Chains A and B, each alone.
Chain A
Amino acid sequence: MTKEELKIKLIEFIPTATFDEGGEWLNIIIRKDDLLTSAEILRNKPELIFDYLFCQTCVDWKTHLMMVYHLESTKYRHQVVMKVQLDRSQPEIETVSHIWRTAEFHEREVYEMFGVNFLNHPDLRLLILPDGWEGKNPMRKDFEDPVNMIKL
């Protein structure tokens, strides 16, 4: 399916979604409350079958956080980027680890690097950071290196 065909299908299945055409990918922006239903539609609708979550991360835009899910269908070879905006002061979102198993450790990384709390995650603990890490979340824009810090 081309990007345009895919977009028409997605509007049909997820009417609340908005789209962002800039860049290489088709970006579908989803409301936080619709995440689980939308994810299941993307994963299970016979026309879509996005069965491969090849990247999941987060972006700190200083005013808000944006969760980013890169999805691909191994059956149809089409791709889409799903985005969800989060509140920066208290970021919380449902886990998708029961839909795409790989999300389990991706979400652990986002949890330690951005401080996003994933609701109903089976095993939400630090992934890469040393045990007992008490500092801020390193990938937030306001993180400061306690040893050597240069501010621009």
Chain B
Amino acid sequence: MSDDLTINKNSSHTPPSGGRGAFQSDSSLAFPGEVHPTPSGGVLVSKLDDVINWARSNSLWPLVFGTSCCAIEMMSAAAAKYDWSRFGFEVARATPRQADVIIIAGTIVNKMAPVLKRLYDQMGDPKYVIAMGACATSGGPFFYNTYSVVKGADHVIPVDVYVAGCPPRPEALINALMLLQQKIKKGLTREQIREESKIDYQKAV
């Protein structure tokens, strides 16, 4: 899976035919389908799920949520110099009701954990999670000898993409968001897998 998700334009990797990943190309902007030209125009062949995922992945609205220095890098990634709207993460929303992706930018302390869980629960489906930096991934510098820090935000909510760094550079965050786009297109985010397994279970019953 990690092999599928690496961004490498020269990759010789070929996705398996049929099913998920069939239309996955290395460019994150590619439309998931084939156009068959006919004399009167063209016929588009695709799967609805893939088109929906493609559409969703190109308009991710992040939640304004920062708990320490990673938030400064996140702001930088959103501001003019790095400008993540170039890749479709346009509007940062100050309410979880309107956000698609929560970037856990900073340390999560025991007192913040219930707040984070509530924010995640308040976000509308589909929703995605990025753990930015060492603190959100594992507790980072607060992994040992602390009285207050949660040792990884994944103890509280499911995480799709982890970013290394303390704090990560804005490029790393943008790369993580692009990885998330690829994951969404393949239907491999935690929530998509969970929904899929629910449907499978209902069919089996």
Query: What string of 1s and 0s marks CB contacts (under 8 Å) between A115-152 and chain B?
Result: 00000000000001110000100100001010111100
User: CA–CA, A72 to B151, complex, Å?
Assistant: 40
**B34 to A: closest C-beta gap in Å:** 52
Q: For the complex, would chain A's binding face be called helix, strand, loop or mixed by DSSP majority?
A: loop
B201 within 8 A of A: no
B81 within 8 A of A: no
Interface size class of B (residues with CB under 8 A): under 10
Q: Is the CB of A145 within 8 A of B110?
A: no
23 contacts between A and B (CB under 8 A): A128-B111, A129-B147, A129-B148, A130-B110, A130-B111, A135-B147, A138-B147, A138-B148, A143-B147, A145-B144, A145-B145, A145-B146, A145-B147, A147-B151, A148-B143, A148-B144, A148-B145, A148-B146, A148-B151, A149-B144, A149-B145, A150-B144, A150-B145
Query: What string of 1s and 0s marks CB contacts (under 8 Å) between B126-166 and chain A?
Result: 00000000000000000111111001000000000000000
User: What B residues does A143 contact at CB under 8 A?
Assistant: 147
User: What B residues does A128 contact at CB under 8 A?
Assistant: 111
User: CA–CA, A119 to B148, complex, Å?
Assistant: 27
**A22 to B: closest C-beta gap in Å:** 29
Residue of A129, A130, A143, A147 most packed against chain B (CB within 10 A): A147
Chain B residue nearest to A136 in the complex (CB): B147
User: CA–CA, A145 to B151, complex, Å?
Assistant: 12
**B10 to A: closest C-beta gap in Å:** 42
